[in-house]
């Protein structure tokens, strides 16, 4: 009965929900610098009207995290909804069809703007789900915790990372959903049970500068870098082997389950090199040299050259062995001294290795045994009228803070929006997708919190 009540309330109040999402999109929370407090205040005002108390935790310059609860008791099963309030910068505004903070509605079908997908759509849907349960006064035994966070787009340490260590620390979490966009267009909806880690390393070669008319007495840092690049693939031999949490064949099967037949899936797989390379990237670590910079003038031998190596780790892969492997390669195979910082006397030839950012991956080991997850899956299938599939995320999100260190391993990512359009120009969300996500969140929360 309550499910029908929830659905009919959502159908009646659609327009109000769309306006709430538009308001979130219109408020500037571009990170950097952040300004997430703008969004937190809108959420607070929206929830205050229905008697939900919110705690806002300000920090920095106009930044904040927010926590709100459905009720006062934490003795039953607690469900956590997590969504980030910050967005990536829109880039050049002239490239957009409509201004990025306008939240223009087109053809009554789409809302345009920075953050519609990543992830004010998912965040708004979670806030609304909390409001629905509160307003319908549905009796539950557990508690719904809403956590709207800052800083996700710049690492998450001051957002989800901080919340888990502070206001949420003493609260037992039994299941968590992060509302990131998980529509795998042209495939169906995805429920992510793991994510890869990310390691950004700066490699700096330090040589000796000199006049380019007699290069022999100098040491060209660009040449040094090219020697490293040439041997870079050998690093794979030095990195301890890590098993992917889900093997390639199993991953294929997980996607195939969402297709009418396995034959059809195999046909599509053969025609789509993009899906093949995605599957490949989810079962192995990967590395890519993404930036290089060297030289200051056409007639000077450069004494420094910098490159950025972007490494994506499997969920169980550690950062340290990768750094050690790179150092070993440069020392033993290329033959240069390796240092952690470049404050050395001039004239010394060496290579500096620095970690720019490091975030480990995460994975929910026992997801296949969870009844709650099965319920979630079935609900998505019913609401979206299509089978979703379980998968791993190639990128990295805030789930590591919640899953790792044992806080709440049973964390999934699921939300409205096509994930490939996140961070893009003309980012837009389909209104139907947004409304469906509200239904999934609200009904799942109701069912989850009613279980004893
Ligand atoms: Zn996001």
Tell me, in angstroms, the distance from the centre of ligand 1 to residue 423's CA: 9
Active site residues: 86, 152
Ramachandran angles phi, psi of 15, nearest 5°: -60, -40
Output the pLDDT for position 273: 86
Tokens of 317: 């892969």
Distance CA 334, CA 342 (A): 18
Residue-level length of the chain: 452
| Sign of the Cα pseudo-torsion (382, 384, 385, 388, in order) | negative
In 3D space, the residue among 25, 15, 51, 42 whose CA is nearest the CA of residue 133 turns out to be: 51
Tell me, in angstroms, the distance from the centre of ligand 1 to residue 39's CA: 15
Output the pLDDT for position 330: 98
Tell me, in angstroms, the distance from the centre of ligand 1 to residue 268's CA: 28
Output the pLDDT for position 3: 94
Task: Specify the CATH number of the domain 197-242+285-359.
Answer: 3.30.70.360
Tell me, in angstroms, the distance from the centre of ligand 1 to residue 86's CA: 8
Distance CA 352, CA 224 (A): 12
Name the residues around ion ligand 1, CB cutoff 5 A.
118-119, 180
Output the pLDDT for position 277: 86
Q: Give the position of tokens 């750094």.
A: 323
Dump the DSSP string for 291-315.
EEEE-SSTTEE-SEEEEEEEEEE-T
Tell me, in angstroms, the distance from the centre of ligand 1 to residue 88's CA: 9
CB 120 within 8 A of CB 441: no
List the domain boundaries for the chain. 2-195+362-450, 197-242+285-359
Tell me, in angstroms, the distance from the centre of ligand 1 to residue 184's CA: 15
Dump the DSSP string for 176-206.
EEE----B-TTS-BEEEEEE-EEEEEEEEEE
Contacts of 246 (CB under 8 A, 6+ apart): 194, 254, 282, 283, 392
Residue ranges of the chain whose pLDDT lies below 70: 1, 342
Output the pLDDT for position 441: 98
- Crossing angle of helices 431-450 and 371-384, in 10° steps, is 150
| Residue 411 DSSP SS3 | strand
In CATH terms, the superfamily for domain 2-195+362-450 is: Zn peptidases (3.40.630.10)
Output the pLDDT for position 342: 67
Tell me, in angstroms, the distance from the centre of ligand 1 to residue 126's CA: 14
- Crossing angle of helices 37-48 and 121-135, in 10° steps, is 20
Per-residue DSSP letter, 325: H
Tell me, in angstroms, the distance from the centre of ligand 1 to residue 144's CA: 21
């Amino acid at each position: 009965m309550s499910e029908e009540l929830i659905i009919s309330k959502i159908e009646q109040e659609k327009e109000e929900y769309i306006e709430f999402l538009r308001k979130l999109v219109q408020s500037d929370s571009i990170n950097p610098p952040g300004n997430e407090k703008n969004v937190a205040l809108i959420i607070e005002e929206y929830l205050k009207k229905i008697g939900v108390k919110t705690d806002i935790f300000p920090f920095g310059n106009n930044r904040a995290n927010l926590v709100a609860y459905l009720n006062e008791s934490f003795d039953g099963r607690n469900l956590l909804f997590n969504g980030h309030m910050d967005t990536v910068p829109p880039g050049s505004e002239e490239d957009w069809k409509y201004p990025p903070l306008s939240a223009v509605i087109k053809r009554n079908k789409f809302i345009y703007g920075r953050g519609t997908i990543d992830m004010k759509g998912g965040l708004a849907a979670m806030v609304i789900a909390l409001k629905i349960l509160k307003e319908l006064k549905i009796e539950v035994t557990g508690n719904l915790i809403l956590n709207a966070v800052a800083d996700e787009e710049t690492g998450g340490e001051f957002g989800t990372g901080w919340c888990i260590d502070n206001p949420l620390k003493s609260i037992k979490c039994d299941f968590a959903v992060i509302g990131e966009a998980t529509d795998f267009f042209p495939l169906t909806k995805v429920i992510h049970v793991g994510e890869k880690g990310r390691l950004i390393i700066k490699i700096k070669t330090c040589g000796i500068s000199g006049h380019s008319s007699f290069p022999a007495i100098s040491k060209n840092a660009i040449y040094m870098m090219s020697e490293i690049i040439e041997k870079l693939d050998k690093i794979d031999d030095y990195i301890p082997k890590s098993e992917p949490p889900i093997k390639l064949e199993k991953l294929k099967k997980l996607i195939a389950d969402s297709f009418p037949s396995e034959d059809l899936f195999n046909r599509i797989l053969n025609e789509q090199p993009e899906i093949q390379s995605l599957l490949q990237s989810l079962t192995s670590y990967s590395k890519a040299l993404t930036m290089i910079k060297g030289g200051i003038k056409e007639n000077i031998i450069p004494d420094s050259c910098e490159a950025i190596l972007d490494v994506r780790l499997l969920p169980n892969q550690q950062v340290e062995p990768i750094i050690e492997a790179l150092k070993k390669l440069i020392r033993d195979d290329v033959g240069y001294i390796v240092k952690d910082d470049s404050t050395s006397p001039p004239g010394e030839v060496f290579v500096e290795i620095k970690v720019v950012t490091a975030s480990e991956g995460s994975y929910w080991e026992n997801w296949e045994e969870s009844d709650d997850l099965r319920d979630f899956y079935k609900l998505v299938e019913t609401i979206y009228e299509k089978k979703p599939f379980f998968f791993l995320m190639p990128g990295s999100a805030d789930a590591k803070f919640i899953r790792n260190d044992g806080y709440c391993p049973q964390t999934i990512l699921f939300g409205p929006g096509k994930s490939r359009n996140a961070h893009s120009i003309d980012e837009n969300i389909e209104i139907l997708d947004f409304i469906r996500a509200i239904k999934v969140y609200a009904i799942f929360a109701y069912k989850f919190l009613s279980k004893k």
